[in-house]
Every structure is written in C-alpha cells, then in structure tokens.
Structure 1
C-alpha cells in the first residue's frame, strides 16, 4: 500500500466480509432493463409482415386451403426465427459492449490494493480515487491528500470542491470526478442507493436521439407502408369488381401488400450497426453507441493530441540545462554535482507517486544520481495542481523539523513568467527553449521558492521563484505513424494537432510523423482574440494548435463543426473532456486515458494506437456502403415482385393471379437473409479508403442511386413479364407460366445479389472479396427452387409444374439479360473515372 502513500491501518474488508456485504446490500449496479426473449418475440409478432401472414393464414383456413394455411404458419415461424436470430445477435453484441465499457475501480481488501470491475464494489469497501478518475460509489473520506472533486453531474456547478476526512466535508458521490490529489473513502451506498442511482430511473427513460440515417430509413419505410396500404385497397377493390369474391379479392390485396412492405430494411439497419460495433470491439475498438458507426465513415477531420498518440509517450530525459552554471548536460553527465539542485527540485515538483511518464523519469533520475534518498523524510502538505495558461504546478513538502521544500515545474514560458530573471536573461533562455523545441524535444522549466507560515498565496504564481533550469525530454514518434497518416490523407481526411506542448516541439514531431502543412501554428491564448468567423477560418487553415487549454480545444472543435466538418477528437486527460463530448466522435485512449475522458468519448481505443481509428473509419465506411447495397437490392427486387403481382391483374392478362401469398413469402424468406446477413458480411471494396468522406447531411440514397435501383427493378420486371408472355405464346398452362415467371424471378434475384456487391467494380472482381455466406445462401435458394420445380408434391403445393431444359435455359437467359446489363453501366463508370 506504500505505492499510494496510504496509512497501513487501512486494511479494507476480508473475503468473508465482502460476501456478507454483497448478500445484505447487493451489487454496485444501476440495472439497465434489456428486453427478454419473450418481449423480443412479442415485438417481432407485432411487425406488419407477421400481421399480414396471420391474416392470410386465417383466410386460407376459412376457404379450406389447409395446406396453404399450414405453409403460412411455417412461414410465420421462419420469419420470426430469422428476426429473433438477428435481434438476439444485436442484443448480445450490445451487452458485450456494455461490459467492456465498465470502468475498473481501485479497492483495498485484506491489506492489498487491487483493481476490480466497478459492479463488484460492496458497502464497506475502501476505495481509492485519484486525479482523472470517476468515483463509482457514495462514501465517506477516511484519508486524503490535496483532494478536490468536480460534482457537476449532481450539482451542475463545474468548479472543483476540496474535501477531506473532517466531518461535514467528507462525503463524496458516485458519478463525480476527482480533479486533483488522492482520497481513500469507505463505501456507504452502492447501485440504486447512491445519489445518482436515485435519479437513475429518470435518466434511463431518456431515449437516445435518432441518427440522421435512422430518421431517413424510418421515413422511407413509412412512405412505402403508406404506398402498400393504397395499393392494397386498389387491388382488393379492383379484384372484387372483377370476381365478386370477397375473400379471394382480399387475398389478392394482401399478396400485394406483402410484396410492397420493405420490412427487411429496419432489420438490416439494426443488424449492420450492432454487429459492426461488435466486430470493432474484437479489434480493440470499443464503440459505446452502435449508431456512432454510421458517423465514423463521414469523418472529415481528425483532431489528435501529440503525446502518446503520435509519439510513444516514453519521455526519455535527454538533456538538462542548469541555469546557475549556464551549461547543457547530456544524459551521460547527469551525475555531475552541478545538477544536484535542478534534479532534486524537478523531482519534488512531481507527484509523490508519479503516473505521468515524465514524472516517473524524473523520480528515476533522482534515484540514480542522488546519494541520499530524502523522499521518505518529507511529506507533501500543500499542493497547487497543474493549471494556468500555459500551465505550471507547485508542491510544498516538509519534514518533521518543519524544513520546507517549495518546488515548481511546468511550461517554460509559465516558469519564466514567475521567475526572478531580467528580460535579457529570459530572452537568452527562450532561445535555448526554441532550439530544443526545433529538435523535437519536450521542455519543462524548474524553479524553487521559500515560504514561512501557513498563509499560502491564493495562486502559485504569487510565490517568489528562483529559476533553476530546464529538463529536456525526447518522446519519439511511434513506429509506423507515417504510414498511419498516409492512410488518413489518402482517405481525404484532414489532420489537426491539438496539444499543450509548445510550437517548436510540436512542429518538429509533426514533420517527423508525416503530418503536412505544419509551417504555421497558433497558440491557445491567441484564439480568444478572434471573432467566430475568424476562428472558423483559422481552424480550417491551421494544422498545429499549441499550448492549448480546455476552452481553447473546445473552441477549435466547435469552429470545425460550424464549418461543416465531421470531427473525430482524440484525448486522454480530464482537460480533454469538453472537446471529446462536443466532437461528433470523441475518441479516448484505453491505456493512458482518464475515466472522465472515457466517459465523455463515444469510442475507446484499447491499446492507444491511432491506426485503430483508421480501422474504425474504414469499418464505418464499409458498413454504410453495405447498408446502401442492401437497401438498393431490396428496392430493386421489390419492384418486379410488386409489378408481377399487380400488372397481369390490371392489364387483364390471361392469368391475372400469377403469384399467390405462398410465392411472395418464399421470395421474402430468400431476400431477408440476403440483405441483413449476407450483405452485412461483405468485405470493404478496395477503393473505399481512397475516396473522400461522404457528407453527413447526405441522404442514404440520393436521386442517382434511387434511379439506378428503380431502373434495375423495371428491367427485371420487363424480363419477368416477357417470360410470362413467352410461355403463354408457347401455349403454356397457368402452372407452366407461373413456373416460368417464378424461376426467372428467382434467377434474377440471385444474379442481382451478386451484381450489387459493387456499383463500380465488375461482378468478376467482386468474387475476389471473400464472403462465405454468399455461396451458402445462393446454393440454398437454388436448391429450394429446384425442389419446388421437380418434386411433384411441392410443385403441386406451389401450383406450378416442372420446366424442361429449354424452358430453364430461356429463364436463365432472360435473367442474365435483365440483370447483367448493369455490368455495362459499371464498365462505362470505371472508364469515365480513369479518363
């Protein structure tokens, strides 16, 4: 427990006490109610397609067609099973994501400090919280060190509140965030009994806002449903006038309604989003809301931090500049006695238990160079956290003799501003800082002060500081980072570097990493002088933003959004929270990210690898493209079904009811898996990440794409109706004509699903995209078709007859001509794009 500098008497609960507490008070969960299997099934049975199937089944029973009624009931089971399978896959994927989003908590149990999932915290546990961590239970502080907390989630007030073990000031609450210091608290309330848990029910009732794509798809399905109702009424009325048979006319109308209803579209959307998020999770990318997958593919700007994102975050101490001797020492000379004061104060200005890589390095250099380790003799008794523009921090230590150490470090500009140097001396040091920065080094200033009494200044800048020197770190760019940025630029995405470091260091590292247009940067303090219009223009043109603080980061993100950009913001610290929340896609680092950064973000990269964001953007583009393919396929194949059901009736052809509900539901059973399972599994096309991002405001189908789908559907209709007339001209019976039409439509459906794998590359190139589900679904479809055609009892049930080789060949030829003409369109498109 000494790692956290915590009193040894704090031992925590034993295993038996943990079990007893859990049995008495339960787990630390605010339960989110998920639909159970029965509720999911009920929701499925409320779907319009299932209601239509029930209605048709009842009519078949009434008129005595029991075989057809039984088939409809089997179809109900099949459609329900497919929907249930898809819903269950989506549900399980989302549950897995929820588990991964749960933060770990640090707890003392049996005298040991352990990390465990937050839901395992029990009443009576001793929890440790420190800077950047979210507090995950209500409790009473039993030990603290310069501890402050942000309670905005409960009070709405965004300022920090200092707390300690004293009565009346020792209560902390779940959902609040540690801003500075460290505290150990005894858990008093968990789950629904916490303050935030008591308002949790109202939070759970707030529905997540629908995404633009969800709204567009919902509108499309709504208009198709309205069209279905209108056409149903027309067919029912017309058929009744022709035949005078109410039930037969109703059956015709319901057949028409079934052919119009695109119930596959919302199922496909839900499946694509949930499974897309689940697949990304397996790649180490945690999506906190599945709908964010839709936005990923539209990303136009990536705003990235420098340290730990572009660089390795190793923070190797390369040089020390000692002001007293006016010398710069390389790491081989760190043992020089002239550096003792600088090294000492650089360490004392760091956290006693460091978690920042630079502070860990300073502690290690102190151990390696100082003869006597004084850290156990001194206690931190007052602290000024990292703050200011640019930032600095100050620590006050004292020993049992009340001897004090007042040490400060921070951005060199901040340390120089409060030091006792003359303007000429400051200018000389600034020249050194600039030279170090141009080599890509990260530079910190170090200073010391003295102070008697306990009437400490309100601000650390009010101390009288003596400038000691500079500590110079090198944090090299990550291996392969140039390739990452190359992929980002190829995808038409802009890059902005938003960092707290200075301009020289940032510019040097950015160039080494392959970031372009780094000649001009802008300082966070300068942003305040711009009007909104100027800030939008500056945010658009500038790549490097240095010495940035939370409000400045937020201002840049908002300016980019107002300029029509879709912004992905990468961050890991407490100060990144506002910008992460404001961005379209907030991206937190899973390893070095604080809990507040992860809570504010929509996406967490578990291994802090920027390349994973490129993977996520590619996945977003793939999923969006595949949704469009699925929907265009649905539209194209529904048109011939609708027109084949309606036109023979309205045109008074010899066999007006060429399709019955049995044939339409078979087509629906073929189309459902194709669009929602097969297309979801379709790999990314090879040119996807070489295209510019789509606009977030674009509709999911523009006029050109919708027109293409309609033309595809009409051409297939012409082919299907030609096969109808060809068979009639050959003297075919109703059963033979139905077999010809049905077979032509199934063949066309199979070919359409293959052709629409790409609207740019040829069908033969698409075969290189391995999708093992395509041959399975196509093979099963053709197997069922031939069973219907050539197994007499099944053929009789479908009221059709077998086809001879000439008729099958004719059917296949018509289907080929009806669908493969689109390959000529794609060839012209490829040729035009190369010219």
Structure 2
C-alpha cells in the first residue's frame, strides 16, 4: 500500500506548474478524438433539408411561375430569417451541452510543485505524476512508479478479468482503463490521440447519444402526420383544381400551404431545446446530467433508493465511542483516554492504511493520532507485508506486519462486528453480549466496527482470514450526523408521492436510528442482506412494498432490488459511489453518482452526478424534471392547438368555394411566432404550484398520447369554429375579401397569443396575470404587435399577403371573433375543472 508521504518522497516535486502549462501548449489538450459542434454550413443544410423549408422553396418557385415576384421574393427571403432563428436556437442548445460536457469531463489527481492537485483530465500532460486509487479512470497512458494496481482493461482487450500492474514487471497503464484495486503513482507518457485508446480509431468521433423515449415517440408521430398531411395536401390540390376551378399551379400552391399547416415541425425543436436547456438548468442546482435523455425520466421517479453515508448524512465521520469488555469511552468532552482502550485504538489504526481514502478510516487515524500521540502505540513507520481485503464473503480486512522473526507476523483486523466475532471463534454467550452492545451503539446512530489482533507463524500465507487465530479487542463507534436539509427534503419527496428507500451496508440498528433522525416515517422494519439471500423474487417483491430500510446489503443485492422495483412498475432512481455500485446505477432508470466521494466508474455508469453529494440536490433535480416535462406537455399542446385553425383555414374555404384565406406567406409569418413560442416562451415557464404535491406521472405517460392531445385539438378546432363563420359572414355582408382576410389573419395571430396563455395554466383564467413569472410573455406580446403593425402598415407586406386595412364593420368583426375565441377557451377551462360526475 502506498502512502502520499512515501509517494512524494519517491517522486520529489512532480512537474512545475509553469512547465506543465508549457507542455500543455506544446502537446495540446489530453482529449480523445470526439465530435465537434455543427458548423454554420451544416446547420444551413439541415434547415434546407427539412420538409417545411423544401415546401417553402417550392412555394417560392410556384409564385415565380405564376408571375407573383413580390410573393416569391418574400417567401425566399423568409428562408434566411428562419435560418437565423434556427442558428440562434442551435447556438443556445450547443452552449448548454458544451457547458455540461466541460463539467462532466474526467478529472485527475496529479502532483505538481510538491502538491496534490485535482485537474481536468484535458490538462494532464506528458511527464505528469498521476495518483491512482481504486475506482479511478486513468487519464493518460503512463508507467507505474510505485504501488500495486489491478486494472480493468476490457475497453482495450475485451478481457473482463482485471490485470495486475506493479513496478519492475508489467508497469504500463493505459488511458480510459479503470483501477479496480490498489493505490499507485504513475508517470504520464502519452496523452490524447497518442494513447492506446486514441489510436484505436475515429469511431468515438461519430458516436451520437441515443434519443430519449420522448424523442423516439415524437419522431413516430411526425412521420405519421407527414404521410397523412402529404396525402391530404395532394387531395386538396386535386379538389381545388377540379372542384373549385382554380388553375393547376394555384391549386398546387394551396396544397403546399395545407401541408405546411399540417406538419408540426416544431416538436423536434421543443424536445431538443427543452432537454438540453433543462439539463443545464439542473446543473445550476449542483446536479450534473451526463446523459441528457435522463432528464425526461426525472419527473416520473416513484422510488428513490439512497445510500445512507454521505447522502443522508454529512460523510464527516468521527470516532464517538469505544467499548471494551463492558467499559465505554465517549469522545465528546473527554480529556484523556484510559489505558484500557489504548490497545483497541492501536490495532484499529494498524488495520487501517496510514493515508486512507475512506472517511471512516480517515476518522480512525485522526482519532488515534490525537489520543495516542507520543506513546508506543503509534507505528507510523510500520509497513504491511500483505493484506486481506474486505470481500462479500468476509466483511472484514486484515493487515499483516512483520514481528520478531521472518516467520512470525502480527495481525490487525477490523470490520463488521458479526464478521470479526466469527473470525475470533467466540463462545455463544460472549458473542451475544458483544452483539447486544452493538445494538445499543447502533440505536444511538453510530456505525460500529469491531477490532481484533492475532499472530501468525509460517512462511506461506493462508488462503483465507479464517485460517488465522484472532483475539477480540473491542468496538469502535463512528458518528456521521445527518445533513440538516435532509428532513425537509424527505418530507417534500413524500408529499410528491416519491418513496424513499434506504439501501446501506450498515448495521440494521444504525440504519433505523438514522432513519428516525431524518424523518423517514413510521415503518421501522429492516430488510437485510441475509433476508434477501433466502427470499425468492416474488416474495421479495411483496416484502419491498412494505419496507423502507434495507441494511447489510452487498452490491449485487442492490442490483437485484433495483431490478425488482422496476419489474414492479416503479421508476427507480438510485445513488451510489463505489465501483461495485456501477451495475445497479446502470440498471436504474436514473443512476445518481456522488461527485465528491464517488469513483470515476460510478460517475460514468450514472446518468446524473451530484456535485455536492447532497440529498436535497436530488429533490431539486426531481422538481426540475417535473417542471421540464410539464413545459414539454404545454408546448406540445400549444403546437397541436395552433395548427388546428391553420389547417381548417387553409382547407375549408376551397370546399365552400370561398376566396383563399391562408396562403404560404401567411403560414410563414405564423411560424415565425410559433417557433419561438415553443422553444423559448414555454421553456422559460416556471414550475406549477403543485409540482411537488402531486404523485409522479405514470411510466408510460406521454405528451403525444391521444388523451393528452385531445384537449389541444378541441382548443384549436374551437378557434377555427369562431374564425371560419366570421370570415363567411363578412363575405356575406359585403366586406371586401382582402379586408376579411386581414381581419381573420389578425384574429388568428391574437388567438395564437391567447392559446399560449391558455396552455400556460390550463386551470387559470386566460387573462389572469399573463406575464407572471415569465418575462418572455411580454416580449411575445410585443413581437405580435410588431408583426400586426408591419403587416397592415407596410404597403409591400399588405400586397404580398393580399390583405387590406379593415373598415368599421371589419373592426367590429375582429373584436367579436376575439371575444368568441376567449369565451371558447374559458368554457374549456371551466369544463376541465368540473368534477367528472358533476
């Protein structure tokens, strides 16, 4: 085992920071070949290849063929406006994703100028000294100078069994491989594309993140609507030509307008922008999103499986009590440590690495150095010959030291009380007495370890710790106080219908005590790892429905619990920090790794990383996830609602032999407002007041389901039912067609704004405090007013759109239609709030 002091003595100072900066400039960042942001040209080509814009170009060409050069110029120039809007949206999304990538980039622990520094993996340079520990992902190709490691190199070799690396033998370690055991110091030899993994190929550069469930569902829906819309547009063109007597080119132009009205091309924009910006917003709550599609699952979480240490507690371990043969020592307020406890503390320190990573082991060393300093019980210069690591079979570790002769060895052991009692082969009465003391300490919220010592004479090490003879020394109780914000966060989860399930390796009594302190609830039954071992899946699934505490769990048992919860229909989030937690983190719907104390392996397996390891941050992420899903649903509803009157106004006049009402130019102007309304206005919408007082949405719930879209379709059809009769009545009473068209267009634009307000808060009055909490509402209203002023005030636009300034009668019709739209939306709101059987 390598200590930091020994490492620094061996490698001196490491690189000077100034020299590291020079090498970084010379060799470039330590980055593997990766994808680059879309270029301007790629974005423009993407825009022009969209069906909506292909139809726009076709419409411009048809206007030229018909001799309407003004209309053609306007439509073709609108392409550039749309490209500009798309560029802004792409830039905003790209900025959010890039900031997330920077946060989630691997980090490395290096020695520079004699100090340990945590730097971004991209800043590692040749010659750097890496400090490597269990769970680290190695940042660059390097040569091991000191220590002994076991490394998972399956990424390079395909071989899943870890390989040993030690100085003097096979000492090469490679970038992107994982340290599964040990501690070591390595000198970097190659970085970036010069590493073994960097030379494998450029496949990583083309790897794209898999689409989320909502994105897949939206693509299916849009594909179906596109096929249906094109068929309907073709039928419309034939009807317009053969039924309404218009020319073929004019009929084709009308068909294009109808196809543009039907295609809801805003949906992909909504999902891309909302999920990317949502992940960025969540990162501001100290929760890093490593996989953006996980954002949509946050709002559906029904079970939150959390570890105790560091999540519910502060992860600031300190030795609080000692117990030896019925005698107790309490650290709080003590002025001296009685001789009775010296040997217990001495062997607890010997059973712990002198420079530990684990918070409990740090606490033991700190406690021992405080109370035993300047005594013969501190052995800072001793070095273990070998050690037996903690394993799922034996929850204890033993370190072996030379003693007297080359064949005589001193043993120091610590671990779970049950395991150490078993290793000491104690009599039943003595074991029962010790376990009673463990229960009492656990009831006080302490995490309890047992300590033993032993001797071994022989040259060959036995295969198992069970082959040694141990003497039981006593118990060490460590306190880790709960985080002060946890009780309120747990109460918020319970109000939101999210069940909290504690999964810990601690003693059941300790788990129960912490649960009581943080307000877990009244259910005190504890399911242990031993219980899991004897229960079949069906019985365990039933037990899980009535249990909130699981203790003495092994990592593979956490995986089994997550799988059973998901099989029972729950959407599961799980926290973890160790290498062995990775399978369960991957299996969960939302794996959440600890950013401060977690291993690189856990972070890479997880979808989210807690930057502050705080339970309250998880709850904040759930709150944000629900807000994001709500806003996606609102934006989707608005899109379908606003497309209904556009479709009706493009289709019905032809069937009734009326003048054309909506042309491609009108639809383009409408899209210039609809796109930002979807991707900006609704994305910025604050959370609903009941976001954390209602149960989670169902796992299969979707904003694209027929039930979810039904209200939106009815909204839009109602708006159409107001506008179409209004247009017909104006024509009937002799209002000029251009005036009537202008009034309907103005009413539709105003109705678009009313639909935004109606879908922001489906249960509130449409005009109730419209801008509250969302500054973009006022800006949207301003954009609407500017568009109306330009459309009616600029002669060129009036001519292109074939509209005229309305007279008194037309203004009266405009006011009547706005009142009708508002009345329809209010009636729908009133009906939706009525009890089902009222």
- TM-score higher than 0.5 here? yes
Q: Is the 8 A contact 1:50 1:76 kept in 2?
A: yes
From 236, 255, 258, give the equivalent of 1:253.
Answer: 255
- Offset, 1:705: 2.6
Quote the residue 1:381 is aligned against.
385
- Report the secondary structure of 2:131's partner residue: strand
Q: Give yes or no for contact 1:747–1:812 (8 Å, CA) kept in 2.
A: no
Match of 1:328 in 2: 328
Q: Give the drift of 1:158.
A: 4.5
Counterpart CA distance in 2 for 1:354 and 1:285 is 27
1:264-312 Cα deviation digits (max 9, x unpaired): 1111111111111111112211101111111111111000000111112
Distance 1:625 1:390, change over 3 A: farther
User: Is residue 91 of structure 2 the alignment partner of residue 88 of structure 1?
Assistant: yes
- Residue 784 of structure 1: how far off its partner (Å): 1.5
3-state SS of 2:31 partner? coil
- Structure 1 distance, partners of 2:78, 2:207, is 37
Instruction: Note the 1:114-125 alignment, pairs <5 A.
Output: 114-125=117-128
Kept after mapping to 2: 8 A contact 1:761/1:830? no
Which residue is 1:338 aligned to? Answer: 340
The change in CA–CA distance for 1:334 and 1:458 in structure 2 (over 3 A counts) is: farther
Query: Which residue matches 1:713?
Result: 716
CA drift at 1:160: 4.1
- Residues matched between the structures, number: 829
User: Would the alpha carbon gap of residues 48 and 400 (structure 1) be closer, same or farther in structure 2, given more than 3 Å must change?
Assistant: farther
The correspondence for 1:68, drawn from 63, 67, 71, is: 71
Taking a change above 3 Å as real, the CA distance of residues 462 and 399 of structure 1, as seen in their structure-2 partners, is closer
Match among 682, 685, 697 for residue 679 of structure 1: 682
Q: 1:141 to 1:312 in 2, by over 3 A?
A: same
Match of 1:757 in 2: 760
Instruction: Provide the rounded CA distance (Å) in 2 between the counterparts of 1:793 and 1:21.
Output: 62
Distance 2:288 2:96 in 1: 11
Alignment partners' CA distance in 1, 2:662 and 2:450: 83
Q: What aligned pairs does 1:390-469 form with structure 2 within 5 A after superposition?
A: 391-398=395-402, 405-469=410-474
Q: Distance in 2 between matches of 1:577 and 1:454?
A: 38
Find 1:545's aligned residue among 550, 571, 584: 550
Q: Which position in structure 2 is the counterpart of 1:784?
A: 787
CA contact (8 A) 1:727 1:740 kept: no
User: For 1:459-498, what per-residue CA distance to the aligned partner results, in whole angstroms no more than 9, with x for missing partners?
Assistant: 2333211110000122222112111011101111111100
Contact 2:747 2:817 in 1 (8 A): yes
Q: CA deviation at 1:117?
A: 1.1
State the SS of the aligned residue for 2:456: coil
Task: Report deviation, 1:411.
Answer: 0.9
- What SS does the aligned partner of 1:195 have? coil
User: What is the RMSD of the two structures over their aligned residues, measured on CA atoms?
Assistant: 2.3
* In 1: Cα distance, 2:733 partner to 2:471 partner: 105
CA drift at 1:90: 1.1
Distance in 2, matches of 1:411 and 1:90, equals 50
Check whether the contact 2:59–2:664 (CA below 8 A) recurs between aligned residues: yes
* Residue range with higher mean Cα deviation, 300-309 or 48-57: 48-57
Matching residue of 2:271: 269
Q: Which moved more, 1:253-262 or 1:200-209?
A: 200-209
Query: Residue 420 of structure 1: CA displacement?
Result: 3.9
Rounded Cα–Cα distance in structure 1 between residues aligned with 2:313 and 2:523: 16
The answer to whether residue 107 in structure 2 is matched with residue 97 in structure 1 is no
1-structure distance, mates of 2:719, 2:528 = 61
Match of 2:367 in 1: 365
Matches within 5 A, 1:625-774: 625-653=630-658, 655=659, 657-763=660-766, 767=770, 769-774=772-777
Question: Could you tell me how far apart the structure 2 residues matched to 1:525 and 1:120 are?
Answer: 46
| Segment of structure 1 superposing worse, 404-413 or 107-116 | 107-116
* Aligned match of 2:218: 217
Give the whole-Å Cα distance in 1 for the aligned partners of 2:425 and 2:193.
55
Give SS of 1:456's match.
coil
CA gap of 1:831–1:712, structure 2 versus 1, over 3 A, is closer
Deviations 1:148-177 (A, max 9, x none): 23334444555444321122x322222222
Report what 1:176 is aligned to: 177
Q: Distance in 2 between matches of 1:115 and 1:589?
A: 16
Q: 1:148 to 1:8 in 2, by over 3 A?
A: same
Query: CA separation of 1:805/1:690 partners in 2, compared to 1, >3 Å: closer, same or farther?
Result: farther
Q: Distance in 2 between matches of 1:334 and 1:596?
A: 43
| 2:505 alignment partner in structure 1 | 500
**1: distance between equivalents of 2:94 and 2:633?**
23
Q: What is the correspondence of 1:279-318 to structure 2 with a 5 Å cutoff? A: 279-318=281-320
- Distance, in Å, in 1 between the alignment partners of 2:337 and 2:624 is 52
Contact 1:59 1:247 in 2 (8 A): yes
Q: How far 1:538 moved relative to its partner?
A: 2.7
1:76 to partner: Cα distance: 0.6
**1:420–1:467: 8 Å Cα contact kept in structure 2?**
no
Measured against aligned partners, the alpha-carbon deviations of 1:617-646 in whole angstroms (never above 9, x if no partner) come to: 111111111111111111111111111111
**Distance (whole Å) between structure 2 residues aligned to residue 158 and residue 473 of structure 1:** 36
Alignment check: 8 A CA contact 1:554 1:578 kept: yes
Partner Cα distance (1:685, 1:191) in 2: 46
Seen in structure 2, the aligned counterparts of structure 1 residues 712 and 407 have a Cα distance that, compared at 3 Å, is same
**How far has the Cα of 1:454 moved from its partner?**
4.2
| TM-score normalized with structure 1 length | 0.95
Q: Comparing 743-752 with 302-311, which one deviates more in the overlay?
A: 743-752
Q: How many Å separate the matches in 2 of 1:614 and 1:765? A: 30
**C-alpha separation in 1, matches of 2:96 and 2:181:** 36
Which digits, 9 at most, give the CA deviation of each residue in 1:732-791, with x for residues without a partner? Answer: 111111112111211211111111112233335564741000110122112221332244
Q: Which string of whole-angstrom CA distances, capped at 9 and with x for unpartnered residues, describes residues 339-391 of structure 1? A: 11001111111121023222222112212221337443212331222223462
Question: In 1, distance between residues paired with 2:149 and 2:386?
Answer: 10
Determine the C-alpha separation between the residues in 1 that align with 2:172 and 2:570. Answer: 43
2-structure distance, mates of 1:334, 1:720: 88
* TM-score of the aligned structures, taking structure 2 as reference length: 0.94
Which of 788-797 and 773-782 deviates more? Answer: 788-797
The whole-number CA distance in structure 2 between the counterparts of 1:684 and 1:346 is: 51
> 1 CA distance for matches of 2:132 and 2:595?
18
